[in-house]
């Protein structure tokens, strides 16, 4: 939340549930300590759970209409983990989002509400596209309307979302509805793989960061299904923040954008492994499991045309190789010191 004209600092809430979901290696505490050291009194941290409606309401009431922007990135982000505890998954992803929306409506209705949704709202519908198998990747048929990427018009109905995808659909629709029904400035960024040097990757979420860590440390890595040729687009956190700032500068109501690396920044698992090996200078110790994850995408590349049309000053600046190089340089010492 950005608060111009106040000395109270920029509040951010995180109770490090990522460590609860995925174990100590996925903790974001190291990044919190870095932010506190770098920003000092300009940063205020609160360990609030977004499922705690009273705590969220008190925070928003404290700042009121000084709140200009709410950036909602909190989530249980793994469709594998969601099946272990669907109630926790849904209350974090759906109920938590509702708490934030309602607090914004009551205390800061003029704020821009930015929600990081997911491409999993489309379920496994992308797997029905005409795909062809190439030596290192799956790719869509040449000349198909979605060759540039998957647009926001793809249906979210009649598909297997995974329980994670279902909870994110609920949150996504709520964000849209608060925008349209209450006239609030809300947006859903349906992300591909959101990543960068600050990503605490783990086996169940954050594949580029976790893959690079495995190459750097010699840890064994498992590739699940599709012969390792499944394709994802990857957007650097900096490019995503720039997209958020573009929306904040000219907000809209109840908007939805597919946001990812698009055609400028995407790779298959096999291609990512080769890039990591080249950057680190060592081979990855990996094994293959033929069992693909339920509801997983074979090929997903975001069509960025709608967002670029509304915000033509924005574009992708980081490709996959640049993301991986920065990720390795920023984290090598920390990974190897564990």
Sequence-ordered list of residues with C-beta below 8 angstroms from that of 175, at least 6 positions apart, any chain: 97, 101, 113, 115, 117, 186, 187, 188, 254
Is the model more confident about 315 or about 18?
315
Mean pLDDT is lowest, of 275-279, 288-292, 331-335, for 331-335
The model's confidence at residue 8, banded by pLDDT at 50, 70 and 90, is very low
The model's pLDDT over 164-207, given as tens digits with 9 standing for 90+, comes to 999 999 999 999 999 999 999 999 999 989 999 987 777 767 78
Q: What is the mean pLDDT of the chain?
A: 91
**For residues 225 and 269, is the Cβ–Cβ distance under 8 A?**
no
The model's confidence at residue 124, banded by pLDDT at 50, 70 and 90, is very high
The model's confidence at residue 26, banded by pLDDT at 50, 70 and 90, is low
How much is the pTM?
Answer: 0.91
H-helix segments, the chain = 17-22, 29-39, 53-63, 79-82, 86-90, 96-107, 162-182, 207-217, 237-249, 269-280, 305-310, 320-336
pLDDT of 7 reads 37
The model's pLDDT over 297-334, given as tens digits with 9 standing for 90+, comes to 999 999 999 999 999 999 999 999 999 999 999 989 88
Neighbours of 260 (CB within 10 A): 30
Residue 332, CA distances (Å) to 11, 34, 51, 123 in order: 30, 16, 35, 35
The model's pLDDT over 71-84, given as tens digits with 9 standing for 90+, comes to 999 988 787 888 89
Residues 141-160 have a mean pLDDT of 97
Residues 118-129 have a mean pLDDT of 96
Quick one: DSSP state of residue 150? B
Residues 153-158 have a mean pLDDT of 97
CA distance 258 to 250: 18
The model's confidence at residue 16, banded by pLDDT at 50, 70 and 90, is confident
pLDDT of 13 reads 57
**For residues 258 and 304, is the Cβ–Cβ distance under 8 A?**
yes
Quick one: DSSP state of residue 318? -
What percent of the chain stands above pLDDT 70?
94
């Amino acid at each position: 939340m950005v608060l111009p004209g106040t000395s109270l600092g920029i509040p951010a809430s995180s109770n490090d549930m990522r460590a609860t979901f995925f174990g100590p290696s996925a903790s974001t505490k190291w990044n919190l300590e870095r932010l506190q050291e770098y920003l000092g009194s300009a940063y205020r941290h609160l360990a609030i759970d977004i499922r705690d409606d009273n705590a969220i309401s008190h925070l928003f009431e404290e700042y009121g209409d000084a709140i200009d922007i709410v950036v909602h990135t909190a989530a249980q982000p793994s469709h594998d983990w969601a099946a272990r505890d669907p109630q926790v998954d849904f209350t974090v992803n759906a109920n938590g989002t509702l708490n934030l929306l309602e607090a914004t409506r009551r205390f800061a209705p003029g704020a821009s509400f930015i929600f990081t949704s997911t491409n999993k709202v489309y379920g496994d519908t992308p797997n029905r596209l005409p795909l062809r198998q190439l030596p290192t990747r799956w790719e869509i048929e040449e000349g198909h309307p979605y060759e540039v990427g998957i647009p926001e018009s793809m249906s979210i109905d009649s598909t297997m979302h995974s329980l994670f995808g279902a909870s994110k659909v609920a949150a996504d629709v709520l964000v849209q509805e608060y925008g349209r029904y209450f006239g609030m400035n809300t947006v859903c960024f349906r992300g591909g793989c959101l990543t960068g040097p600050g990503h605490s990757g783990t086996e169940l979420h954050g594949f580029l960061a976790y893959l690079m860590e495995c190459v750097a440390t010699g840890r064994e890595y498992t590739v699940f299904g599709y012969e390792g040729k499944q394709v994802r687009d990857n957007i650097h956190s900096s490019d995503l923040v720039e997209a958020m700032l573009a929306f904040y500068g000219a907000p809209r109501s109840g908007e939805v954008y597919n946001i990812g690396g698009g055609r400028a920044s995407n790779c298959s698992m096999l291609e990512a492994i080769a890039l990591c090996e080249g950057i680190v200078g060592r081979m990855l110790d990996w094994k293959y499991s033929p069992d693909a994850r339920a509801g997983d995408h074979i090929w997903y590349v975001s069509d960025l045309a709608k967002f670029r049309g509304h915000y033509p000053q924005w574009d992708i600046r980081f490709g996959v190789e640049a993301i991986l190089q920065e990720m390795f340089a920023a984290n090598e010492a920390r990974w190897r010191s564990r």
